[in-house]
Chains A and B, each alone.
Chain A
């Protein structure tokens, strides 16, 4: 039963990954296709001694932790609300997927525009309501640029949690809640002792998957700030991408990608190890 999935993954993903792994041990310059000498781990040592790597890693941590935790919190709340019964529930469930159903480039452009200093509607409304004393160049300041792109990615990503957790909520047998009610459990008690444990598997999986996705995603940042101002929003995958394609240093970019994968692997192995222990 596993064979088809394994074969597909092996051909289309594993081969290219191994290829990239091999390239990361060579001095591969995109525009020098004929010369690619083997240089061992030099790409890796160069990456690890470059301050930009560590800066990008720090940005990546902020990006992943903030984005995933906010997406999750909002998505979970949405799932719980949309699991209750009210007249227009069906339409509400459908409408909530709208942000998720948009391509990143559109999301990036629309949020850049809404956050714009001169013509942005958010600054406009903020000033009108008296929340902001004056327009703020959100994406042009180191202190607020990361917040701006995180806002956009939270908007894009919370419906994923809403949908997956909503589906997970269906698997919890209703009898459990009825029994708890008879035992006199309150809403909070039911949530803690029935909903959370019943959803634990789905929550853990969804968090893990989303973390990997967010850690690897760069299109939204690329559209909104290109990593700037300066390097304020440059994350690790963006650094790898720019090094490989814009800088033309494909070997170095591959090494950065491998390092990113190893870091994520650490998180996943911890997860699998812990889930086995349970």
Chain B
């Protein structure tokens, strides 16, 4: 009885509005997963603004714990495998190859090419966001490039300039080491590959097949390990120091230089004012250099039933003012040129150091092994080398073997 009434009603509506498309009447809901560093920040405002502009789309934003990357990824893989995944999510390069291999991603090329905001994102960023198969699956959302923090006041005491190449870096690190202070806050613990790559690939070696065991990479890696073993310009805790430790040690004045990125710039300025600055990471003798690019991207999953709506949301997020608003919450840099022009969230010198590093910015190989490299293989082998349990060259051979067999 009731069903018939409903059906009649539906038929009546359809008959009354023959021109209305059924899709336009039923709002679609898309699920979006994100992770923010600051639990006090929420994307609610952004979602509300988007829904107002796009009345047909509802965004269910879900905050997933990052958990060193592992928790977020495990949750993501589990739900994709169980066919219960979100329509779109924040993702990182180290998972790109795996997600492609799972056929979990929708290529975005046709949308990107028709998207008016495309030219507001630099070619450097689009280059980095291109997958090995030449397609683009990830949408740039936020970024950082790793740079070198330097305590200017401590350098001035030693009459030293800000180091620009590896020789000067070593001289400075040695001069700044003494007593309860170390020249370089090395990160041997989790996530440390980011601040190791500028050393290993700083003199021209490339993170690609054969690159890990090329003479240049081997020599540079020995240089890196020797900072700890030979020159002792790093705290004894360096093998397991992770980001919390290197940042706190810098803030506490226990180390004079460290490699990190703009997300910590404001707290450094709070602590040291003008006595701290950031510069691009040291370069090799021929001007070569490697600045690790840290991405924050979005994607559309192939299992999504509403891929167009999902694309609308992520492209909206990467558009000029929206992206600025988004990055205020995320604490990183906007990917749009228009937004960067009036960037006021971080002091200019840190933005400059980041932007100047973009031309030499690079990432790890996009392979299914990359996630394992960053989480297990890099820390294990590097820590062993730092503790003298294996030779630096063995560590590089292990990496080459992991990636290229």
Contact = CB atoms under 8 A, between A and B. Distances in A.
A–B in direct contact per CB < 8 Å? yes
Interface of A: 30-33, 116-119, 135, 137, 139-142, 145, 225-231, 242, 245-248
Interface in B187-211: 188-190
A118 B384 contact: no
Contact of B237 (A140, A230, A246): A140
A246 B376 contact: yes
A116 B101 CA distance: 41
B154 interface: no
Given A116-B245, A230-B380, A230-B383, A31 B98 contact: yes
Given A228-B379, A230-B389, A118 B248 contact: yes
B99 A31 contact: yes
Nearest to B81: A33
Contact of B81 (A30, A228, A230, A231): A30
**Interface hub of B70, B239, B368 (most chain A Cβ within 10 A):** B239
29 contacts: A30-B81, A31-B98, A31-B101, A32-B101, A32-B102, A33-B102, A116-B237, A117-B237, A118-B248, A118-B249, A137-B235, A139-B240, A140-B188, A140-B236, A140-B239, A140-B241, A142-B387, A226-B190, A227-B376, A227-B380, A229-B188, A229-B240, A229-B386, A242-B376, A246-B376, A247-B372, A248-B98, A248-B371, A248-B372
A225 B240 contact: yes
Given A119-B254, A227-B376, A228-B189, 17 more contacts: A31-B98, A118-B248, A118-B252, A137-B236, A137-B237, A139-B240, A140-B236, A140-B240, A140-B241, A145-B240, A229-B386, A230-B387, A246-B372, A246-B375, A246-B376, A248-B371, A248-B372
Contacts of B252: 118-119
Q: Which 5 A-B pairs have the closest CB atoms?
A: A117-B237, A137-B237, A31-B98, A230-B384, A229-B383
A252 to B, nearest CB: 12
Contact of A226 (B74, B241, B379): B379
A139 B249 CA distance: 16
A231 B248 CA distance: 25
B279 interface: no
Contacts of B239: 137, 140, 228-229
Nearest to B182: A118
A240 to B, nearest CB: 12
B77 interface: yes
A227 B73 CA distance: 19
Contacts of A141: 387
B238 interface: yes
Contacts of B98: 30-31, 248
Contacts of B101: 31-32
Nearest to A223: B68
A117 B389 contact: no
Contacts of A247: 372, 376
A116 B188 CA distance: 14
Contacts of A228: 189, 239-240, 379-380, 383
Interface string B72-116: 011001000100000000000000001101100000000000000
Contacts of A139: 237, 240
A250 B159 CA distance: 55
The interface centre, meaning the residue of B98, B101, B237 with most chain A CB atoms within 10 A of its CB, is: B237
A118 B240 contact: no
Contacts of A31: 77, 98-99, 101-102, 368
A32 B241 CA distance: 34
Interface string B379-405: 110011011010000000000000000
Contacts of A246: 70, 371-372, 375-376
Between A225, A227, A245, the greatest number of chain B beta carbons within 10 A of the residue's beta carbon is seen for: A245
Contact of B375 (A140, A229, A231, A242): A242
Contacts of A245: 70, 73-74, 77
A190 B70 CA distance: 53
Q: Which of A31, A32, A231 has the most CB of B within 10 A?
A: A31
